[in-house]
Chain A
Amino acid sequence: GAVVSQHPSWVICKSGTSVKIECRSLDFQATTMFWYRQFPKQSLMLMATSNEGSKATYEQGVEKDKFLINHASLTLSTLTVTSAHPEDSSFYICSAPTGTASQPQHFGDGTRLSIL
């Protein structure tokens, strides 16, 4: 079964709305979670690393004020796309490292965000 649960799987909203995506680790604790963005027919681009109890680490070029990340507990990280616009439409995937190189990350099923 899924070890990382991501919700919602699909969201459609109007331009200017803020959208929150949740990523939960099931049956294990994750002090770190990764957030990726994937454009159609492209690879996964790491956006940021969320850290439980501290600030997220953003990759170069990712707007911190646009993509707010909170990691309030050992099993939950959230990504909020603030004042979303059509160009923010994408597939967002979270993952949680297991702490072993043999299975470095468990991935959520992704969230398809469509901004009208």
Chain B
Amino acid sequence: AQSVTQPDIHITVSEGASLELRCNYSYGATPYLFWYVQSPGQGLQLLLKYFSGDTLVQGIKGFEAEFKRSQSSFNLRKPSVHWSDAAEYFCAALWMDSSYKLIFGSGTRLLVRP
């Protein structure tokens, strides 16, 4: 079955430190991959996406993600975290047989220490 796994429920980093949020997907064929951010009580904002080509993709707000086929992973990174980055982050995948249904990971809550 198609699934997306985010193994870290929450992560705490100090402001200015680097960040990596993990994401793995299952189900043989490579899906389209996305990272969304959700601030408390709000909807989702697309950070970045991967379809094909360059495995390192750049997104908004200084985020980037690297696709690694061998590991079925699409980890999100940021070199220097800002306090405003504290939010919930969701990895999602879309398999082209799914009628544009996104499969979401369970989310990772990012806490930023001053």
Taking beta carbons and an 8 Å cutoff, which residues of A are in contact with B? 6, 32, 34, 41-44, 46, 49, 91, 93, 97, 99, 101-105, 107-110, 112
Contacts and interface: CB of A to CB of B under 8 A. Distances in A.
Interface of B: 32, 34, 41-44, 46, 49, 51, 90, 94, 96, 99-102, 104-107, 109
A43 B107 contact: yes
Given A6-B43, A93-B44, A110-B43, A34 B107 contact: no
A102 B43 contact: no
A91 B44 CA distance: 12
B31 to A, nearest CB: 10
B101 A46 contact: yes
B105 A104 contact: no
B43 A104 contact: no
15 contacts: A41-B107, A41-B109, A43-B107, A44-B90, A44-B104, A49-B101, A91-B41, A93-B44, A97-B100, A102-B49, A104-B94, A104-B102, A105-B100, A105-B102, A109-B42
Contacts of B99: 32, 49
A112 B40 CA distance: 11
B51 to A, nearest CB: 7
